[in-house]
Chains A and B, each alone.
Chain A
Amino acid sequence: MTSVGEVVAHLVAIRANLDSAAVTASRAQADAEQALAHLAEVRRGGNNQLLAAAAADAEVARDKAGRYARLLADAARHISAYVNVIAPGAAPIDPSVDASAPSGERLVTEAEARGSKADILWRRQVQKADDTEDALKSSESGANQFYKFLRQDNRGGSSTGTASHEPAQESPQIDNPVTAVVMAAGALAVIAKAMWNYGHTRRTRRRDSDDQA
């Protein structure tokens, strides 16, 4: 019979391979992006059909490679979330320091584009929130503490209005579908752990509410 430990070991190995593949795809994306930029330079003023076709192909390749990179990274994170449910703490908790992580120095040196850099930084922040089980909403709360201070400080310390601007500490809502998937995976792990820790309380509470219903 296969032990949980063996299953976990297999999954962790699969995850590492996926991370590695994600980096390869991200590199391909960065290379295609760079090729596009160089082609644009060369083509300036010209109208060669072969070069136009090369640019069109590189553009498709860039977009698809980026998509593969995201999907591979998402698959890896889903596996981590699952592994951490069946064996808490067993999956890599900080892929950003992992050589295979699709973020950080390796990618930045390859993807110089401003947008890519902003994406990488945002993904890292999301990943850190995910890894530490610190709700991304906490950053919103931190910001609003600061804004509240500014408003009060500039109005002679008077606290007006009813808006608390203190968001609930719930799993973050993200517009981006990719990060939403990442966060959904993280939220799953958090919820599962909470259920284990407080299972008895939850069952009692549910029984109570059922009784009242």
Chain B
Amino acid sequence: MIKPDLIEYIRTMIRSDYAANESVGARLDAEGWDGFPRFLAALFFVAVDRRFGETADRAGVIKFVADLRAEYEGGPEIRADDAESLILSTIDPSLDYAVSQEMIGRVQAATVQKVFTDEDLADAELEALLSEAADLASRD
């Protein structure tokens, strides 16, 4: 079961409600971020699946990562080769990757943000995506 505040944290970030996001973040700092790495990994899976589907399109991934890096320039460094290999291995898990957990977190967060904000998602659609990720992150 994913904490509602973790879902709210991502929801407010995707909706660019930074004041609300900051207050949820402060609550999570107090209560603990338990379950966040897995929820983020599930969101990343959902986002990559939504953007790329089941087929590893290397050229498409390279273009996506280039756009991602340009869009969030000035933020924490997102290494192109790390982001590409992480996304490609999510599309096709037979492909391996060697990326630090910290970089994994950056790539996952940035990818989720980009995929979910590039489209102008209706509320119901965003809720469905968040809910699917929460379900995936709650599996035994």
Partner-B contacts on A (CB < 8 A) = 96-97, 103-105, 108-109, 114-115, 117-122, 124-125, 128-129, 132, 134-147, 149-151, 153-155, 160-165, 167, 172-179
CB atoms of A122 and B38 under 8 A apart: yes
Once the chains bind, are B106 and A174 in contact (CB under 8 Å)? no
Q: Which of A115, A146, A164 contacts B136 (CB 8 A)?
A: A115
- Which residues of the other chain, B, contact A175 by a CB distance below 8 angstroms? 1-2, 34-35, 38, 138
A139 near B101 with CB under 8 A, answer yes
Identity of the chain B residue whose Cβ is nearest the Cβ of A151 in the assembled complex: B18
Q: Main SS of the interface on chain B? A: helix
B101 touches A105 (CB 8 A): no
A sample of 9 more A-B contacts (CB under 8 A), given A118-B41, A139-B101, is A118-B136, A119-B136, A125-B101, A146-B113, A147-B109, A161-B25, A162-B26, A163-B29, A173-B32
Q: How far is the CB of A212 from chain B (nearest CB, A)?
A: 30
Which residues on the A side are within 8 Å of B29 (C-beta)?
163-165
Q: Tell me, in angstroms, the Cα distance from A177 to B92 when the chains sit together.
A: 26
B93 A104 Cβ-Cβ under 8 A: yes
Q: How far is the CA of A141 from the CA of B110 in the complex (A)?
A: 13
A139 CB contact (under 8 Å) in B13, B37, B92: B37
Asked if A142 and B105 sit within 8 Å, CB to CB, the answer is yes
Q: How far is the CA of A119 from the CA of B103 in the complex (A)?
A: 20
B140 with A118: CB separation less than 8 A: no
Contact yes or no, A97 B96, CB < 8 A = yes
What is the interface of chain B, defined by CB distance below 8 A to chain A?
1-2, 13, 16, 18, 21-23, 25-26, 28-29, 32-38, 40-42, 45, 49, 72, 74-76, 89-90, 92-94, 96, 100-110, 113, 136-140
Evaluate contact between B37 and A154: CB separation under 8 angstroms.
no
- In the bound complex, how far is the Cα of B41 from the Cα of A211, in angstroms? 46
In the complex, chain A residues whose CB is within 8 Å of the CB of B42: 118, 122
| A residues in contact with B105, CB < 8 Å | 138-146
A-B CB pair tally, cutoff 8 Å: 159
Which residues of chain A are near B108, meaning CB under 8 Å?
139, 142-143
- Give the residue name and chain of the B residue nearest to A138 (CB): B101
Interface centre among A109, A163, A167 (most CB of B within 10 A): A163
Which residue in chain B gives the minimum CB-CB distance to A160?
Answer: B22
> B41: which A residues are within 8 A, CB to CB?
118, 121-122, 125, 139
Give B114 Cβ to nearest chain A Cβ, in Å: 11
Do B93 and A120 touch across chains, with their CB atoms under 8 A apart? yes
